[in-house]
Amino acid sequence: MEFTWYEFTWAIINFLVILAILYKFFYNPVIKFLDNRSDEIRRNITEAEQARAEAEAMLEDYRNKLAGARQEAQEIVARATRVGEEARAALLEQSRAEAATLLEKAHQEIQRERDEALKALRQEVATLAVMVAEKILGRTVAKEDHIKMVDQFLDEVGEVH
Amino acid sequence: MKGVREVEGHTSDILFKIFGLPVTSHVTTMWAIMAVLFILGLVVSRNLQKVPGRLQSLAEFTIEGLLNFFGGILGPEKARRYFPFLATFFLFILFSNWSGIFPGAGHLKGFKPPTSTWSVTIGLAIVVFVLVQVAGIREKGLGYLAHFIKPIPLLLPLNIIEELVKPLSLSLRLYGNIFGEETVAAVLFSLAPYFSPIPMQILGILFGFIQALVFTTLAAIYISTATAEGH
């Protein structure tokens, strides 16, 4: 085993030199680089998680909105149906009323026509009765008979009325 | 048996001097390892992609694996603080150990696994020793120094010896293992140059990793002990 001071000294000098060199050109840049990359990866993961949370919130929001829109649409349809129903009912009611009015008018018309016809008939009947009476009176009918017959006739006519 | 003698380091092996400090094959090999680590680090860090390629994956795996490993010993916060030191111990020792696997290690001029000499391993262990003391004082202030006289002041010499034995055992364990392995490989090579060193080289990959891990783990444990709360 040999020991020399100069090799001992060189060993220390060389170690310190390579320590400085490796620190400056190897450890420092590589460790800094690794740290940066770790930070970046960590940051990316955090960002991705945030983005996912945001997307989920957005999805939830859209779902809610969609449900709301659907409900609204249903309400609109229901309202429209109700309005249509009401309009139909109103129209029907109106038509019914109109029809009733027309029917009433028609009845009245018929009544009037009948009344007129009756009146005309009565005149006709009276005229005819007078003519018939003249003829009969002109031959055999007594005065009492005549009165009796007219009375009777008038009664009959009145019954018809 | 020339090879064995060279591995044992008996022959003076000074290649040249810088500022009066002799440079040996262990030192030049350290420089080569430093250059490799520097280039690998640079290639990875200059071209960091969010989706990593093979080399980047390996680098990320190494750094994250070591960080988690030290985190298990020191806790995540201290593991980050002392990571550069611990990771450099690991990588530098690992590459040093593995450099001995290459053919010609210990034979070629200027190429000897740095961790196969105690001079280098004790140098690294002394760095651990200083680091542990500094970490203890930094994390716990004067409370750290108080542990030398606990549980009773009488144990002060023993506590100091315990502290000094730590780098000694660290360096001797690493040096002994790598040097022994190198020696066995060299002996096998000198007996039968072809094929016989291959099993030793394969084991060398495993041992090199284990020894680097043991050294680094113990360093982390020493730091953990020195900086532990309520000690």
Taking every pair of Cα atoms in chain A, the longest distance, rounded to a whole number of angstroms, is: 195
Owner of token pair 């420089």 = B31
Return d(Cα A124, Cα A118) in angstroms, integer.
9
Chain centroid, CA B146 distance in Å: 30
Note whether A55 contacts B: Cβ–Cβ < 8 A. Answer: no
Chain A environment of B122 (Cβ under 8 Å): 3, 8, 11
Q: Is the pLDDT of residue A89 over 90?
A: yes
Cβ of A22 within 8 Å of Cβ of B120? The answer is no
Query: B99-133: buried (b, 16+ CB within 10 Å) or exposed (e) per residue?
Result: bbbeeebbeeeebbbbbbbbbbbbbbbbbbbebbe
* CA count, 13 A, side-chain hemisphere, B31: 9
Chain A environment of B120 (Cβ under 8 Å): 7-8, 10-11
One digit per residue, pLDDT tens: chain B, 231 residues? 344 444 444 456 788 888 888 888 889 999 999 999 999 999 988 888 888 888 889 999 999 999 999 999 998 889 999 999 999 999 999 999 998 888 777 777 888 889 888 999 999 999 999 999 999 998 888 888 888 887 788 888 888 898 899 999 999 999 999 888 888 887 887 887 777 777 878 888 998 999 999 999 999 999 998 888 764
How many residues in total does chain A contain? 161
- The residues near B212 (Cβ < 8 Å, ≥ 6 apart) are B89, B90, B91, B93, B94, B97
Cβ of B30 within 8 Å of Cβ of A21? The answer is no
| pLDDT tens track for A12-61 | 999 999 999 999 999 999 999 999 999 999 999 999 999 999 999 999 99
Chain B environment of A5 (Cβ under 8 Å): 119
- The residues near B16 (Cβ < 8 Å, ≥ 6 apart) are B22, B23
Return d(Cα A116, Cα A113) in angstroms, integer.
5
Structure-derived torsion over alpha carbons of residues B211, B217, B223, B225, reported in degrees to the nearest 10:
-120
Cβ of A11 within 8 Å of Cβ of B9? The answer is no
Minimum Cα–Cα distance from A35: chain B residue? B64
Percent of chain A clearing pLDDT 70 (strictly above): 91
Whether the Cβ atoms of residue B157 and residue B145 lie closer than 8 Å to each other: no
Closest Cα of chain B to A43: distance in Å?
A: 15
Cβ of B124 within 8 Å of Cβ of A17? The answer is no
For CA atoms A35, A37, A39, A45, give the dihedral sign: negative
Minimum Cα–Cα distance from A1: chain B residue? B118
Q: Exposure of B2 by Cβ count < 10 A (0-12 exposed, 13-18 middle, 19+ buried)?
A: exposed
Return d(Cα B198, Cα B208) in angstroms, integer.
15
Chain A environment of B27 (Cβ under 8 Å): 6-7, 10, 14
Whether the Cβ atoms of residue B93 and residue B210 lie closer than 8 Å to each other: no
| pLDDT tens track for A97-107 | 999 999 999 99
Residue B66 belongs to domain spanning: 2-227
Ramachandran area for residue B110 (φ above 0: left; ψ -120 to 50: alpha; else beta):
left
Closest Cα of chain A to B155: distance in Å?
A: 31
As a whole number, the mean pLDDT across chain A is 88
Whether the Cβ atoms of residue B136 and residue B78 lie closer than 8 Å to each other: no
Minimum Cα–Cα distance from B16: chain A residue? A6
Quick one: pLDDT at residue A142?
Answer: 59
Whether the Cβ atoms of residue B79 and residue B118 lie closer than 8 Å to each other: no
Note whether A9 contacts B: Cβ–Cβ < 8 A. Answer: yes
Best of A26, A34, A40 to disrupt the B interface (most B CBs within 10 Å) is A26
Closest Cα of chain A to B228: distance in Å?
A: 25
User: pTM higher than 0.80, yes or no?
Assistant: no
User: How sure is the predictor about A148, in pLDDT bands with cuts at 50, 70 and 90?
Assistant: confident
Indicate the residue of A2, A11, A22 with minimum beta-carbon distance to B123: A11
Q: Is the pLDDT of residue A160 over 70?
A: no
Quick one: pLDDT at residue A108?
Answer: 94
Number of domains in chain B: 1
Indicate the residue of A14, A26, A29 with minimum beta-carbon distance to B30: A14
Three-state DSSP state, B22:
strand
Return d(Cα B61, Cα B63) in angstroms, integer.
6
Whether the Cβ atoms of residue B158 and residue B170 lie closer than 8 Å to each other: no
Note whether A62 contacts B: Cβ–Cβ < 8 A. Answer: no
| pLDDT tens track for B109-151 | 888 889 888 999 999 999 999 999 999 998 888 888 888 887 7
Q: Is the pLDDT of residue A123 over 50?
A: yes
Quick one: pLDDT at residue A155?
Answer: 77
